[in-house]
Amino acid sequence: LRAKPRTQASLAVSADGVSWFLLNASPDIHRQIEGFPALWPRERRDTPIAGILLNNGDMDHCLGLLSLRESQPLKLYATAAVKRGFTEGNSLYRTLERFPGQVTWKILELGRTIRLEAPAGADSGLAVTAVPIPGKRPVHSGPGPDDAEDNVGFLIRDAAAEKTLAYFPAVGLPSHPLVEALGQTDAVFFDGTFWSGDEMATTGVGTAKARDMAHWPLGGPGGSLSFLERLGCRRILTHINNTNPILREDSPERMAVLAEGIEIAEDGWEISL
C-alpha cells in the first residue's frame, strides 16, 4: 500500500509565533507536540500552548486533554454542550481538577466571536467564531437529543493580518452557515474522513455509514468535493480515515482531488496566510 502514515487530525495556530492554540487534542497529542519545536516548553513547564479549542466531544478530539494532566494550567475553548459532554459523568476528568484553576473553560456561543487569550489575559491577535455544523453527540454521551452546539467549525481571524482560517474537520451535511462561513476565508481545513458513504463496510472494518458518523463523504454526486471545487480559497482535506482511498498515493480518487487543486494534509505541514 503506497500511503504515508499520519498522526490524528490536529492543528496549531498562532498570530505572533509566541502564543499557540491547538485545534483539538487528539490521543497522540504528545507525539504531535514533539514534532513541532514551537510548542515545546520554553523552560520547565512553561508551555507556548495558550489554549486548546474543541470542535466537538469525540474521543479523537478530546482524549489528549487527559494526557496533559500536569501542573500546567489549561485554557479550553468549547461550546457549553461540548464541555458538558466531556466533563459530566466523567470520573477521569478529575485528573484535570488537581488544583483550583487547573482548567479554565471559555464557553463558545454559536456565531459569536471571542478573542483567544494569550497568557495573563493578553491579546493573542486571534479571535474565534464557532459555526454550528450538522454533526452528532459523541458516542460516550449515549443516546439523547441532538444539540446545535454538539459540533462546530472554527473561523479563526487574525484582524491585523486580515486573514481568516477555517477549521471544519467534522461536517455531517452541507448547510447555509457552512456556505456562508467558507465564503469569507483564506484557507479551509475540511472534513476528509470518507470518500464514500459505505466505505467502512466495503473495506471490511465496520458497518457504520458515513451518514451515521456525521461525515459528509467527498466523492460521488452530492459529495463534498463538488462543494469544495467552487470555493476560491486554499482547501486542505484533514481528519482522513484510514479507509479513505485518497490516502493511497496511486489512487484515482487522490488524483481527482489533486486535479481540483485541493490539498491532502500531511503531518508537519506549516502554512502562513
List interacting residues with a second copy (CB under 8 A). 5, 27-28, 30-31, 34, 44-45, 59, 63, 66-67, 69-71, 88-95, 98, 139-142, 204-206
Closer by beta carbon to a second copy, 142 or else 232: 142
Q: How many CB atoms lie within 10 A of CB 225?
A: 23
Closer by beta carbon to a second copy, 35 or else 220: 35
Provide the grid cell at 129: 467564531
Closer by beta carbon to a second copy, 6 or else 115: 6
Closer by beta carbon to a second copy, 56 or else 164: 56
Closer by beta carbon to a second copy, 139 or else 160: 139
Q: How far apart are CA 177 and CA 154, in angstroms?
A: 12
Instruction: List C-alpha distances in Å: 72 to 41, 63, 142, 256.
Output: 11, 17, 31, 45
Nearest to 172 by CA among 225, 217, 111: 217
- Provide, rounded to whole angstroms, the least separation between the CB of residue 91 and a second copy: 4
Closer by beta carbon to a second copy, 67 or else 175: 67
Q: Which amino acid is at 216?
A: W
Provide the grid cell at 170: 467534522
Give, as one character, the DSSP assignment of residue 45.
Answer: T
**C-alpha 82 chain-centroid distance:** 13
Q: How far apart are CA 47 and CA 70, in angstroms?
A: 11
- Provide, rounded to whole angstroms, the least separation between the CB of residue 235 and a second copy: 28
- Provide, rounded to whole angstroms, the least separation between the CB of residue 204 and a second copy: 5
- Provide, rounded to whole angstroms, the least separation between the CB of residue 90 and a second copy: 5
- Provide, rounded to whole angstroms, the least separation between the CB of residue 36 and a second copy: 15
Provide the grid cell at 106: 471559555
Q: How far apart are CA 155 and CA 48, in angstroms?
A: 21
